[in-house]
Amino acid sequence: MMGQDNNGKSGRVIPISDTVILPGVTSILRLPALDEEELENLKREDNTNIALPLKQNFGHSQLSEEDFYRIGVSFKLEEAEQTEKGWRIKIKARDRVEVNSIRIEYGGIYAEYDFSPDEIDLNEKSREEMLSYIKNFTREFSEKYTRSEQYGGADQYLKVFEELKDLNSLIVYISQFMPLSNGEKYELLETQSLKERSLKFMDYLVKLKETVELQFQMAERFSEKANKYYRESVLREQLKAIQEELNEGKEEGAKKDKDYLSKIEEAGMPIDIKNAALEELDKLKTQGPNSSEYNVIRNYLDLLVQLPWKKSETTPVNLGEARRILDEQHYGLDKVKDRIIQHLAVMQLKKDKKGSILLLVGPPGTGKTSLGKSIAEALDRKYIRLSLGGIRDESEIRGHRRTYVGAMPGRIIQSIKKAGETNPVMVLDEVDKLMAGGYSGDPASALLEVLDPEQNNSFTDHYLDLPYDLSEVFFIATANSLESIPGPLLDRMEVIQISSYTINEKFHIGKNHLIPAILEEHGLTSEQLVIADDVLQKIINEYTLEAGVRGLKKQLAALARVTSEKIVSNKAELPYRIKMEQLEEVLGRQISRHEKAESDNPPGVVTGLAWTPVGGEILFIEATDMTGSGQVTLTGKLGDVMKESARISLSLLKARLPINTFNFKERDIHIHVPSGAVPKDGPSAGIALFTALASLVTGIKVDSKIAMTGEITLRGAVLPIGGLKEKLLGAQRAGIKKVLIPKDNAVDLKEVPEEVRNELTIIPVEAAEDVLRETLGISLPRIEHVFGQKAFGEAILQV
């Protein structure tokens, strides 16, 4: 051990950190370890002990000469006490020293040094003024803290520093309560001039005061919610710092990395996906928790390990059970059920069948979405529904790039993640309501890859950025109309048409399905509420106007709510029976205003048939004439196609029907279709327009119980139309007895319920002459699409 040598100036070094130590000041130091020999050496008066600051907080075994600052203080050991965490020693700093060299031996750390005492460049008066200034500043500063309960115990510390009479002692005492860095604390010791040291310390105080004042101003401006968020963020930062100090943060991060590694191994990913996941995990290990990329990578890894990658086991399809479930949950729809059963049978035979993509098309409320749920139950698979109505952004389908803030995967991948299986039944609801592409891309085009059996085994979501196999997913799309679905998208799906329900079907659906469901939803039983068959029939006929049964369910729910109120308030005897006369009181006036066949139609008035989204209806074609100059007026908010049909009908009438009593040159003709505020278009009113004009010019009435539908051409041919089933249902409801349809539509009659066919006399027609014969009783020879004066003359002579 070296003794104190004024010529050699060698001494033993005690490393210190995070402490302000100045000459002449008594300080407390904490040492991690101290054996008996070292303690005795520190106590010896003939040894020089030097407290030398470290640049960073290092363990003793890691120290080298470069880790020390060059300015320290010699000291005398006054007290030494052993604690649970090491030694607590009390020292009296003596002189400021400058270390020239350091050597580290097994026995300790030694330094060659020179004395470098403080420059006392303040006289007595200046020291007193500086001392008073620092105390006053600190006193004012501390009052800002003692106003809050958090710092309410500061008074006892203020009493101590009031008694201090030495600048160095005051600086050391106050600095222990200030958030100074190691470098800032060393600068106070490094500064040799007492005046400059005091001024530097004042700079630290002013800087701290400005920081605190700024925090107080921010706290006053922010709302309570913002303050709470700010406090939480500060606490999180402090917690992170504490964890890093205790090495807990690294352990927790290592644990998370280990968890991700085990999840990746257990996920059953394909080898290329697994390699990509491991690369992302390596990136995560290099990122700190405060890095902007840290949470982005973690969210991406969470998606990778939560997506189902292992092929799900496919349960064999029991066609009998599937038929039972479909029949139990849906009344009617026999053709649709047969088509679905056939599709399931093919899936069963061909295990790797691709192209399991159905499109159910029909009016609202006809059970398209619930059919998808029933199919999922029949296949014993998870059911997922995606509502596509109103989506205008391609990224909703394919996701966002991870480079964007707030990026997330598209709805397809999110749904697969939610299902947790690779083979769910996924219903793409309202696929016809997708918005047209704009600056955000075209979502309908994004669906092309999803619904293409040849491509969806490697579907790439922008966020996932890796191929995902969708070939096992059973996609079922629904739509109300095919018109707005792009051709390429429609080509990828197998269309199953679901038509409107007949009144009889609605009755059975209401009785067997809706009423039990409504009773259960409202906490009622069949012993508490009774809805008779005639009441249900009246609700269907007069209080609903729809192709499906969604409106019927709402009306039944209204009856259930009224019943619930009466039962709870003890105003009803059980069972409570809904009476016919109560419907208007509970449901209001009837909302169904179906047109009814008139008892008599004057010449020029004919009954036509129309298709609407809520079912078929009859409409009246009215024609009248007046003195004029041969002009034709069309009213009733008719579309261009319907206007053209009217002009074609008039031209055909002039060409085919030899009439001597009607002067077209001196008479104006006005054609009107009532419900003038409702837009009407389409070619299917062609033969009705033709018949109305023929009735007008001949003066022959058309039977009011006859209705007709069909497109007519300039050569007199009757062409097929769509929506025949709905139109015939509307005719039956309106009291029509006889219906003219195009001959080419006769094959569609098998789709019409037998009850409707039995009540209507349906006559197929193929030419204008057939129409005149059935409606006006006029027999004309068939002119097989021949034009010219000679043909017309021969026809007139034959008549």
Question: In this predicted structure, which of 33-47, 415-429, 527-541, 751-765 has the lowest mean pLDDT?
Answer: 33-47
Put residue 333 in one of left, alpha, beta given phi > 0 → left and psi -120 to 50 → alpha: left
Do residue 341 and residue 490 come from a single domain?
A: yes
Amino acid letter for position 23: P
Q: Is 115 helix (H, G, I), strand (E, B) or coil?
A: strand
* CATH number, residue 140: 1.20.58
pLDDT of residue 756: 84
Residue 243 resides in a domain: no
Do residue 628 and residue 773 come from a single domain?
A: yes
- Domain termination site, one of 221, 239, 265: 221
pLDDT of residue 63: 80
Contact 506, 549 (CB under 8 A): yes
Do residue 657 and residue 629 come from a single domain?
A: yes
Residue 660 resides in a domain: yes
Average pLDDT of the chain, as a whole number: 81
Amino acid letter for position 524: L
Cα 648 to Cα 121: distance, rounded to the nearest angstrom: 116
Indicate the pLDDT class of residue 353, thresholds 50, 70 and 90: low
Do residue 386 and residue 479 come from a single domain?
A: yes
Do residue 465 and residue 379 come from a single domain?
A: yes
Do residue 743 and residue 719 come from a single domain?
A: yes
* CATH number, residue 548: 1.10.8.60
Cα 350 to Cα 336: distance, rounded to the nearest angstrom: 21
Say if residue 755's pLDDT is above 90: no
How many CA atoms lie within 13 Å of 711's alpha carbon, on the beta-carbon side? 16
Residue 284 resides in a domain: no
Instruction: Give me the mean pLDDT over the 263-273 stretch.
Output: 83
Give me the domain span that covers residue 471: 319-408+420-497
What does the DSSP assignment read for 616-673? EEEEEEEEEEEESSS-EEEESSB-HHHHHHHHHHHHHHHHH---SS--TTTEEEEEE-
Give percent above pLDDT 70 in the chain: 86
Do residue 619 and residue 726 come from a single domain?
A: yes
Residue 787 resides in a domain: yes
Point out the annotated binding site for ATP. 362-369
Catalytic residue, from 506, 553, 705, 727: name it. Answer: 727
Burial class (CB in 10 A: 0-12, 13-18, 19+), 437: middle
Do residue 535 and residue 464 come from a single domain?
A: no
- Over the range 625-641, which residues count as b (16 or more CB within 10 Å of their CB) and which as e? beeeeeebebebebeee
Do residue 134 and residue 105 come from a single domain?
A: no
Say if residue 789's pLDDT is above 50: no
* CATH number, residue 355: 3.40.50.300
Contact 71, 98 (CB under 8 A): yes
Residue 309 resides in a domain: no
Count of domains observed in the chain: 5
- Domain termination site, one of 448, 465, 497: 497
pLDDT of residue 622: 92
Cα 146 to Cα 151: distance, rounded to the nearest angstrom: 5
Cα 664 to Cα 648: distance, rounded to the nearest angstrom: 15
Catalytic residue, from 471, 684, 695, 704: name it. Answer: 684
Cα 365 to Cα 372: distance, rounded to the nearest angstrom: 14
Do residue 690 and residue 720 come from a single domain?
A: yes
pLDDT of residue 438: 62
| pLDDT tens figures, 618-646 | 889 999 989 888 888 999 888 888 899 98
Burial class (CB in 10 A: 0-12, 13-18, 19+), 740: buried
**Residue for token digits 């320290």?**
72
Strand partners, 113: 99
Cα 261 to Cα 267: distance, rounded to the nearest angstrom: 10
* CATH number, residue 102: 2.30.130.40
Do residue 545 and residue 470 come from a single domain?
A: no
Residue 248 resides in a domain: no
684 in catalytic set: yes
Distances (CA, A) of 376 to 7, 323, 379, 475, 476: 96, 13, 5, 11, 10
Question: Cβ contacts of residue 30 below 8 Å, gap of 6+?
Answer: 85, 86, 87, 88, 89
* CATH number, residue 781: 3.30.230.10
pLDDT of residue 286: 75
Do residue 168 and residue 215 come from a single domain?
A: yes
- Domain termination site, one of 221, 254, 279: 221
Distances (CA, A) of 42 to 35, 69, 78, 85, 91: 11, 21, 10, 19, 10
Residue 266 resides in a domain: no
Question: In this predicted structure, which of 197-211, 381-395, 460-474, 652-666 has the lowest mean pLDDT?
Answer: 652-666
Residue 289 resides in a domain: no
Strand partners, 712: 718
